[in-house]
Amino acid sequence: MNISIIGYGAMGSMLAKSFAQKHHIHIANRNIEKLKDLPANCEPCKDNKEAAEKADILFVCTGPYQIKEVFEDIKDSVKKDKMIVSLNEAVSFEMLSQIIDHKIAKVIPNLNGKIKRSETLVAYNDKVTSEDKDKLKELLSLIGNINEMEEDQLAIASDFVGCMPGFIAAIFDIFAKVGEKYTDLEKEKIITMILNTVNASSELMIKEKLDFTQVVKEVATPGGITMEGTKVLYEQFPAIVEEIYEKTLNKGKSTANKIKESF
43-53 pLDDT, tens digit per residue, is: 999 999 999 99
Q: Is CATH 3.40.710.10 the right assignment for the domain spanning 164-262?
A: no
- The single-letter code of the amino acid at 130 is S
Q: How far apart are CA 83 and CA 79, in angstroms?
A: 9
| Domain 2-149 is found in CATH 3.40.50.720 | yes
List pLDDT tens digits, range 217-262: 999 999 999 999 999 999 999 999 999 999 999 999 999 999 999 8
Angle at CA 55, nearest 5°, toward 49 and 59? 85
CB within 8 Å of 55: residues ≥ 6 apart: 2, 3, 4, 26, 78, 82
Does pLDDT of 8 surpass 90?
Answer: yes
Helix, strand, or coil (residue 25): strand
Instruction: Look over the chain and give the mean of its residue pLDDT values, rounded to a whole number.
Output: 96
Kindly tell me if the per-residue pLDDT of 263 is higher than 90. no
Neighbours of 155 (CB within 10 A): 17
- Residue 62: what pLDDT? 95
pLDDT in tens, 159-196: 999 999 999 999 999 999 999 999 999 999 999 999 99
Contacts of 43 (CB under 8 A, 6+ apart): 24, 25, 26, 27
The amino acid sitting at 227 is M
d(CA 142, CA 52): 22
Identify the H or E element spanning 109: none
User: What is the residue extent of each domain of the chain?
Assistant: 2-149, 164-262
Per-residue exposure over 49-66, b if at least 16 CB sit within 10 Å of its own CB, e if not: bbbbbbbebbbbbbebeb
To the nearest whole percent, how much of the chain has pLDDT over 70?
100
Confidence at residue 1, expressed as pLDDT on a 0 to 100 scale: 85
Paired with 220 in beta bridges are none
Taking the whole predicted model, whether its pTM rises above 0.85 is answered as: yes
Integer CA distances (angstroms), 96 to 65, 67, 123, 170, 191, in order:
13, 9, 14, 34, 43
Strands (E), the chain: 2-6, 24-28, 42-44, 57-60, 83-86, 103-108, 118-124, 144-148
